[in-house]
Amino acid sequence: MAAVAVQRDRASFMRIYDHYAPRLQRYLRNLGVPESMADELVQEVLLTLWRKAAMFDPARASLATWLYRVARNLYIDQVRREPHWLPIQEGLDRLDDDESSRLDSQPESCFDQDILKQAIDRLPPGQAKLVRMGYLESKSHSEISAELNMPLGSVKSSLRRAFAKLQASMRAPR
């Protein structure tokens, strides 16, 4: 990643592309984005990385998270056509930048992704299903509740329990 930022290294960039482009494509297709539009959005996500490589801070977020956020934001902006979403997210990001410079402290170091992966794999199947429906199908609590014929309160409490377990894995000392 540093090579992409400093040397504008196309080979390093294309290694990132080879890994993430098909995953981002799958993510967008699962959200119902038509194939040609998904291809364009994936290119736009990766092009954003190419342009902003110097602004990517591995201490703040993993590359996967960074790309996920860019893809999600473009999906909401360009597919769902909610024009105010992007500026609001950028505003929140700037607040975090201000906060970390004001505190003059090291931001939380990036946790070990493998530990989070294992924690996701260890979730009870019911909780894992709800988490995936939320993230990978972008289903609201009410939609999940209707689709699974499950009370809204149970959907939310299951998601809360799942999040607590995953947070614990991210915060565990290494």
Among 1, 3, 86, 120, the residue binding other proteins under the rule CB under 8 A is 120
What is the three-class DSSP state of 41?
A: helix
Residue 15 CB partners (closer than 8 Å, separation 6+):
none
61 DSSP 8-state letter = S
Among 2, 6, 54, 59, the residue binding other proteins under the rule CB under 8 A is 54
Site string for other proteins, 68-107 (x = CB under 8 A): xx-xx--xx-----xxxx-xx--xx-xxxxxx--------
Contact 24, 42 (CB under 8 A): yes
Shortest Å, Cβ 153 to other proteins: 5
Q: Which of residues 145-164 bind other proteins (CB under 8 A)?
A: 152-153, 155-157, 159-160, 162-164
Q: Which of residues 21-50 bind other proteins (CB under 8 A)?
A: 21-27, 39, 43, 46-47, 50
Shortest Å, Cβ 69 to other proteins: 6
Among 14, 59, 146, 172, the residue binding other proteins under the rule CB under 8 A is 14
Residue 12 CB partners (closer than 8 Å, separation 6+):
1, 3, 4
- CA distance linking residue 94 with residue 147, whole number of Å: 37
Residue 122, interface with other proteins (CB under 8 A)? no
- CA distance linking residue 132 with residue 124, whole number of Å: 12
Shortest Å, Cβ 114 to other proteins: 9
Sign of the CA dihedral with 75 first, then 65, 133, and 25 last: positive
